[in-house]
Amino acid sequence: MKTILIAALCAASVAHAQTSWKLATGYRAESFHTENIAQFARDVKAATKGQLAIDLAPNGSLFKLGDIRQAVEEGKVQAGETIMTSMVKDIPIAGADSIPFVVGSYKRAQRLWELQRPGMEREFAQRGLKILYAVPWPPQGLYTTQPVKSMNDFKNIKMRTYNQTTVRLAEMLGARSVDVAMVDVGKAANEGRMDAMITSAVTGVENKVWGPLKHYYEISAWFPKNIVFVNAKAFDALAPDARATVVKAAAEAESRGWVASEAIAQSATKELQANGIKVDRISAELESDLKRIGERFSREWVRSVGHGASDIFVPYYFN
Ligand code: PCA
């Protein structure tokens, strides 16, 4: 009787201790961001001895990229990953990493994240969310079907967009914006639905855009970040040691992700070239056009964000 009772108690406590989270992302399983999350999930599972399993739902299979934050907030799914700029309507400071021509290197992108993170933590906490980590996409370059020399070459062309920054830029350039999710970029390019887009080299590689798109200009416009987060109630329900494990594994995932992003920035550009895309610098004229547009964008952004903007950018520029 005693053994049966003990066995039953053990089974019950094991069952109680095992938790599983679903983590929704809008990107593909083979995306370097998603592979990094998969590693994070394996690390958490091993370090908690199976107490916490994180199951990935990639490719927008549970929720669309732009709906993921809301879904985690509402507890429809425990955890998620999205691109920070997808939430600028509700959290304006989330857009700090997509202001054109502010950040020109991974080091500066890191500094920006340090300054942006406290405000983001507050915004997330108010919504019952906990940030796990953030990792940038490689620098954003300009893809085109035809060579471009100045702003005039953008008049009325179809420009693929993925966030408010790209929509506003298309508008300022006089182009027509076409919203295409990252996973549909290859298809849209092949169907002639875009003449230009601003995104990373790796996104071009993942979607095999060679063929329709012929030029890639390394303008390093910005370094947008993906953010991985969890519903705070789900996090708080973990045992304290499991919580500490998740936080530690998240910090490791963040460091690992930044290194991977930088490495892939190099290799992906080479891969575009190897597949026939002409990798070029932009003309001085287009560079100054884009710089002017960037400045205009910055002014609009600061005006719309207010204090939150100076909290980030005063130390960014002056400390
Ligand atoms: N790839 C994603 C976001 C930024 C990037 O480099 C996209 O094109 O949608």
Mean pLDDT by groups of 10 residues along the chain of 319 residues: 51 63 97 98 98 97 97 98 95 97 97 98 98 98 98 98 94 97 97 98 98 97 98 98 98 98 98 97 96 96 94 95
Q: By C-alpha distance, which of 158, 148, 211, 153 is closest to 180?
A: 158
The pLDDT value given to residue 13: 47
Q: What is the pTM of this model?
A: 0.94
Domains and CATH numbers, the chain: 2-91+105-136+225-271 (3.40.190.170), 140-221+276-318 (3.40.190.170)
The pLDDT value given to residue 228: 99
Residues contacting 297, CB < 8 A, separation 6+? 99, 100, 165, 168, 169, 172
> What distance in Å separates the CA atoms of residue 133 and residue 151, rounded to the nearest whole number?
37
226 alpha carbon – ligand 1 mean position (Å): 9
The pLDDT value given to residue 319: 83
Q: Which of 25, 137, 264 to mutate to test the pocket of ligand 1 (most atoms within 8 A of CB)?
A: 137
Tokens representing 58 are 């990639």
Residues contacting 73, CB < 8 A, separation 6+? 127, 128, 129, 231
Task: Give the containing element (helix H, strand E) for 71.
Answer: helix 68-73
The pLDDT value given to residue 16: 45
Let me know: does 205 contact 138? Beta carbons within 8 Å. Answer: no
74 alpha carbon – ligand 1 mean position (Å): 26
Strand partners, 278: 215
Q: Which of 203, 205, 208 to mutate to test the pocket of ligand 1 (most atoms within 8 A of CB)?
A: 203
